[in-house]
């Protein structure tokens, strides 16, 4: 019989999230009609901006007309979108990125997941703990993890993030080839500052490693002195690939558009020491395995950069950040220890010493009727922590905090 | 330095298509204003059906409203679309396919390209020659090809399709684990009949192989006795995965929606003889590496199954098939030997003995101002053949044939 990719056998089951669903279901069953507020999932709730909707409607009509119809587009995205991205998100902010260093895709999840294909199966991988599970799971599927021993994959280098280091990963004391960094961070809401990010770039330059930099939450950075792109750090253009998304910036979680920046100067080597551009390898990967983002969706994404679009999107981000402030201020006033929520849409609670995150989940659900995410779902170092998100509706977010204040 | 996936070094450059572009450019330069008719690329030209456009417009407006907004959807597709597909494309045709055996995606190219990830790197692969290049290239990238010797990858089993066997692949005389079949075929336009397809299913059952069946052009089958789905063959539900697309069925090449059917009964094994459903492995793959198709696009695809949609789509396919008949009849009246164009949108010319396909390309371009695709671009056995497509506009297709009759 055809043999499967046995690396899949190394994947850990996602028992935790199944367990969460079971618990919520059981609670609803024994409390019929209970009004649960969900601050667990990282999904937006506000409608698409009017400029985006109008662009999508207009492009749909175009597609129904003889002259406006678009068939296959370029796999890497239409020039109108690539140039708007490079211009507004980089060049106007003083960062030199060429249009052909932008690759438009259907999502940062896809890009972050597929990008590892360009590397040898023998490359070593560093991830933070806690972590967005996609970085880890896709490397397990590709055979870079080895098997699990005592909750750890033997070949993965884990960068522990705990209250002791303020949930900021330390530089590893060994060589690694591929480093996944996420800033603003999911789940901890922490942001790498210029100095911290500079140390990572210096490490990558010294070790000839590649940083896979996920900045899907970049729009939530308010402090002017925090880097929004890794390319603000000198030398990063030689070692870093940056993943960005319209999902959280413009509410595109169900609309699906993202992009990846790959400077021509980021190289990998073949076994004979020959150098190859990751940009060209990804172009080859995408032209072979992908057929581009729908025309109407690319028009919708381009509308984000119109005068109207930029203003509307800014309001949306401000709305969620006001939610974050409500959560943060409310919980801080109770004396709770928390991280994030200032330049990130995630609020990361450090639970009282000794409390397990699943226990806090139960307390929060049964006492306040609020659902969040137990930190242990993001890795062993997430134990004792808990994630809330700012993506809810305003009234529900306010009510959640009132309930927590009243009942917890 | 981080090591690349060295399998990429085994990919052959796509010199032929670059060469074609160069030739067309040179022709236009020396014949300024020349009116070239392109019957080369397999891309549609007719606008989206009105029912599809209206669904997309309406869904776009929904996304801009508080109550109609949709964030993340299920990675495998919304139930409304999965059930419409299973019902109209299978159950109403007497084929038992469950909703959860349908996986909605952004394109058959993506699915066909990514599906091989579920198999061991040691699995053996059979492809036809000539072939849609994605089947081969993605297996090269995954390390299943070995290196190229004399125009052939050493580990690939090639199924020769020539005029001698009517461009119908013969069953291999050795074991293979994964078999790519495409019917109606791109590029040859031939269709596997019930008897031929039955032999493939029997082979796969006997060898415990998996057939990766690409039926992206299924809508072009007019003969009632030709199978439109591999699941019309008894036993196929144990050995076959079927790839379908809205691209050619409903003009979605720039709208991006497709689906893959994976019966729960198709199994692969692990090294210890344990059995695993491909359905569940793909679910795990998609939930980890993909975030679903845009809501507005899934609504557009669902409109294909409305009464209006079904009627409009049928007209579109009939339009292209009328083009195919015009090409076929025109060229047959000149005594040319050709295949396909009857239950497929591709017309495959067998060139006069000894003529190279690139030479015919030159003749067709310079004498008739018509561009097609040299068969050698699809594999060594495509040499001496040439592909024309029925996806052009009516007037241009008629004119192309008139020019060929007049000048060739």
Cβ atoms of B347 and B185 closer than 8 Å = no
Q: Which residue has the tokens 């297996």?
A: B139
Judging contacts by C-beta atoms under 8 Å, the chain A residues touching residue B141 are 117, 285, 288
Nearest residue to A305 via CA among A126, A157, A104, A73: A104
Residue A16, Cβ density class (10 Å: 0-12 exposed, 13-18 middle, ≥19 buried): middle
- Hey, are the CB atoms on B177 and A2 less than 8 Å from each other? yes
Helix (H, G, I), strand (E, B) or coil at B270: coil
- Quote the pLDDT of residue A41: 80
Q: How far apart are CA A2 and CA B210, in angstroms?
A: 7
Question: Using CA of residue A197, residue A201, residue A204, residue A209, what is the dihedral sign?
Answer: positive
Long-range CB contacts for residues A275-283, cutoff 8 Å, separation at least 24: A275/B1, A276/B4, A276/B8, A278/A118, A278/A210, A278/A241, A279/A100, A279/A101, A281/A118, A281/B4, A281/B5, A281/B8, A282/A103, A282/A115, A282/A118, A283/A76, A283/A103
Q: How far apart are CA B319 and CA A272, in angstroms?
A: 54
Written in H, E and C, the secondary structure of chain A is: CCEECHHHHHCCCCHHHHHHHHHHHHHHHHCCCCCCEECCCCCCCCCCCHHHHHHHHHHHHHHCCCCCCCCCCCCCCCHHHHHHHHHHHHHHHCCCCCHHHEEEECCHHHHHHHHHHHECCCCCEEEEECCCHHHHHHHHHCCCCCCEECCEECCEEEEECCHHHCCCCCCCCCCCCEEEEECCCCCCCCCCCHHHHHHHHHHHHHHCCEEEEECCCHHHCCCCCCCCCHHHCCCHHHCEEEEEECCCCCCCCCCCCEEEECCCCCEEECCCCCEEEHHHHHHHHHHHHCCCCCHHHHHHHHHCCCHHHHHHHHHHHHHHHHHHHHHHHHHHCCCCEEEECCCCCEEEEECCCCCCHHHHHHHHHHHHCEECEEHHHHCHHHCCEEEEECCCCHHHHHHHHHHHHHHC
Q: What is the pairing mode between strands B102-105 and B373-374?
A: unpaired
Nearest residue to A185 via CA among A204, A161, A210: A161
Give me the torsion for CA of A157, A160, A165, A168, rounded to 10°. Answer: 70
Is 80 exceeded by the pLDDT of residue B13? Answer: no
Mean pLDDT of the region B237-252: 98
- Quote the pLDDT of residue B336: 97
Residue of A nearest to B57 (CA): A57
CA A304 to chain centre: 19
The answer for A 111-170 residues in CB contact with B (under 8 A) is 113-114, 117-123, 133-134, 137-138, 141
A270 CB-near residues (< 8 Å, 6+ apart): A276, B3, B4, B6, B9
Q: Of A210, A253, A290, which is closest to B2 when you measure between CB atoms?
A: A210
- Quote the pLDDT of residue B16: 81
Nearest residue to A159 via CA among A171, A151, A147, A144: A171
Q: Is B38 on the interface with A (CB under 8 A)?
A: no
* Structure-token pair, residue A228: 């929004």
Is 90 exceeded by the pLDDT of residue B162? Answer: yes
Judging contacts by C-beta atoms under 8 Å, the chain A residues touching residue B297 are 294, 296-297
- Quote the pLDDT of residue B75: 96
Lowest-confidence range among A14-18, B66-70, B320-324? A14-18
Judging contacts by C-beta atoms under 8 Å, the chain B residues touching residue A53 are 60-61, 63-64
Beta-bridged to residue B37, according to DSSP, are: B370
Please tell me whether the peptide bond between A184 and the residue prior to it is cis, using omega within 30 degrees of 0. yes
* Structure-token pair, residue A23: 């618990």
Q: Is B285 on the interface with A (CB under 8 A)?
A: yes
Is 90 exceeded by the pLDDT of residue B159? Answer: yes
- Quote the pLDDT of residue B55: 98
Q: How far apart are CA B335 and CA B329, in angstroms?
A: 10
Residue of A nearest to B69 (CA): A47
- Asked if ipTM goes beyond 0.90, one says yes
- Hey, are the CB atoms on A296 and B295 less than 8 Å from each other? no
Task: State the nearest Cα–Cα gap between A8 and chain B, in angstroms.
Answer: 8
- Hey, are the CB atoms on A63 and B255 less than 8 Å from each other? yes
End-to-end CA gap in chain A: 56
A217-252: burial string, b at 16+ Cβ within 10 Å, e else: bbbbbeeeebbbbbbbbeebbebbbbbbbbbbbbbb
The answer for B 356-375 residues in CB contact with A (under 8 A) is none
Q: Is B352 on the interface with A (CB under 8 A)?
A: no
CA A141 to chain centre: 19
* Structure-token pair, residue B325: 């008949």
* Structure-token pair, residue B386: 């040439």
Cβ atoms of A3 and B273 closer than 8 Å = no
Residue A281, Cβ density class (10 Å: 0-12 exposed, 13-18 middle, ≥19 buried): buried
Neighbours of B353 (CB within 10 A): 6
Q: How far apart are CA A121 and CA A119, in angstroms?
A: 6
Judging contacts by C-beta atoms under 8 Å, the chain B residues touching residue A121 are 5
Cβ atoms of A55 and A272 closer than 8 Å = no
Domains within chain B, CATH numbers bracketed: 13-47+309-407 (3.90.1150.10), 52-306 (3.40.640.10)
- Quote the pLDDT of residue A19: 87
Q: Is B47 on the interface with A (CB under 8 A)?
A: yes
- Quote the pLDDT of residue B150: 87
The answer for A 237-266 residues in CB contact with B (under 8 A) is 251, 253-256
Residue of B nearest to A136 (CA): B288
* Structure-token pair, residue A245: 């998304």
Q: Of A46, A138, A251, which is closest to B288 when you measure between CB atoms?
A: A138
CA A154 to chain centre: 25
| B85-108 tens-digit pLDDT | 999 999 999 999 999 999 999 999
Judging contacts by C-beta atoms under 8 Å, the chain B residues touching residue A71 are 43-45, 251, 253-254
Nearest residue to A254 via CA among B291, B335, B187, B88: B291
Average pLDDT, chain B: 97
Residue of B nearest to A134 (CA): B288
Cβ atoms of A26 and A283 closer than 8 Å = no
Does this model's pTM top 0.95? My answer is: yes
Judging contacts by C-beta atoms under 8 Å, the chain A residues touching residue B46 are 69
What is the rounded radius of gyration, in angstroms, for the C-alpha atoms of chain B?
A: 22
- Quote the pLDDT of residue B19: 87
Positions in chain A short of pLDDT 50: none
């Amino acid at each position: 019989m055809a043999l499967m990719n046995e690396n899949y056998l190394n994947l850990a089951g996602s028992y935790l999230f199944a367990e969460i669903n079971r618990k919520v279901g059981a609670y609803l069953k024994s409390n019929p009609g209970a009004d649960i507020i969900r601050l667990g999932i990282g999904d937006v709730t506000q409608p698409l901006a009017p400029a985006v909707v109008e662009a999508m409607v207009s492009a749909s009509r175009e597609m129904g007309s003889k002259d406006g119809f678009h068939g296959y587009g370029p796999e890497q995205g239409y020039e109108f979108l690539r140039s708007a991205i490079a211009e507004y998100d980089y060049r106007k902010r003083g960062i030199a990125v060429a249009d052909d260093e932008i690759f438009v895709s259907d999502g940062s999840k896809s890009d972050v997941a597929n990008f590892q294909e360009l590397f040898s199966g023998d490359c070593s991988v560093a991830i933070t703990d806690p972590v967005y599970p996609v970085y880890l799971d896709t490397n397990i599927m590709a055979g870079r993890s080895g098997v699990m021993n005592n909750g750890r994959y033997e070949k993965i280098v884990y960068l522990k993030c705990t209250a002791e280091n303020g949930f900021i990963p330390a530089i590893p004391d060994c060589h690694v080839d591929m480093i996944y960094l996420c800033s603003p961070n999911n789940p901890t809401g922490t942001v790498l500052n210029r100095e911290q990010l500079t140390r990572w770039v210096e490490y990558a330059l010294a070790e000839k490693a590649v940083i896979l930099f996920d900045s899907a939450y970049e729009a939530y950075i308010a402090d002017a002195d925090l880097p929004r792109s890794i390319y603000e750090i000198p030398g990063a253009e030689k070692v870093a690939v940056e993943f960005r998304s319209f999902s959280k910036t413009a509410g595109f979680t169900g609309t699906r558009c993202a992009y990846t920046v790959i400077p021509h100067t980021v190289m990998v080597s073949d076994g004979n020491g020959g150098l190859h551009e990751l940009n060209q390898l990804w172009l080859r990967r995408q032209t072979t395995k992908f057929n581009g983002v729908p025309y109407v969706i690319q028009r919708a994404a381009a509308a984000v950069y119109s005068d109207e679009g930029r203003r509307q999107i800014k309001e949306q981000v401000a709305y969620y950040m006001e939610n974050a402030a409500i959560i943060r201020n409310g919980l801080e006033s109770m004396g709770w220890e928390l991280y994030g929520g200032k330049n990130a849409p995630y609020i990361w609670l450090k639970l009282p010493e000794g409390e397990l995150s699943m226990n806090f989940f139960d307390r929060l659900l049964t006492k306040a009727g609020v659902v969040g995410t137990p930190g242990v779902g993001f890795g062993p170092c997430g134990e004792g922590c808990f994630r809330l998100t700012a993506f809810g509706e305003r009234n529900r977010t306010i009510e959640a905090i009132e309930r927590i204040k009243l009942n917890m």
